[in-house]
Amino acid sequence: MNFDWMLGLELIRIFEHYPQNSTFEFSNGTLKVDTLWRIIADGEVKLTKRDHNQQFGIPKPVDAHAEAAELLLGRKVVKVQLREDSGDLTFEFEGNRSLEILNDSSGYEPWNLHGPGVHLVAVGTGKIYDFSPKS
């Protein structure tokens, strides 16, 4: 599957579309995630979806979407990789940062990706369905 159309796109917004959903909005595309995601920066895990609303002994609970924005907003995609047996998706950004989308269910749809003329849906088995409009 070819994700070259995403190269150079900038991440411009990260938010919770509805409970347990994280939306990553790019300059020309949207990734809706209903599964575990994590951000790797400088060789270590900096944040995961599961950190959202956790206290961790700090003054206020973690806002995973705000912290993800601090780590990734304004950065451009330099590489996209799909693991074909699981449907896991990795976005590498400039500045040694990556966003990993990890399928954590064998039944639910872990992510949906929309872009110009592109609509991809991952399913629990790891398969990717292409609902892109046909020319």
What's the pLDDT at 38? 98
- Reading the chain (135 residues) residue by residue, the pLDDT tens digits are 899 999 999 999 999 988 889 999 999 999 999 999 999 999 999 999 999 878 888 889 999 999 999 999 999 999 999 999 999 999 999 999 999 999 999 999 999 999 999 999 999 999 999 999 986
Q: Looking at the domain assignment, is residue 135 inside a domain?
A: no
Other beta carbons within 10 angstroms of residue 113's beta carbon come to 22
- Specify the DSSP class assigned to residue 49: G
Q: Looking at the domain assignment, is residue 68 inside a domain?
A: yes
Q: Looking at the domain assignment, is residue 58 inside a domain?
A: yes
Structural domain for 59, as ranges: 4-130
What's the pLDDT at 56? 83
Task: Give pTM, 2 decimals.
Answer: 0.94
What's the pLDDT at 18? 86
Number of folded domains in the chain? 1
Residues near 82 by beta carbon (within 8 Å), at least 6 away in sequence:
1, 3, 88, 89, 128
- Specify the DSSP class assigned to residue 10: B
Q: Looking at the domain assignment, is residue 117 inside a domain?
A: yes
Question: Is 117 in contact with 103 (CB distance < 8 Å)?
Answer: no
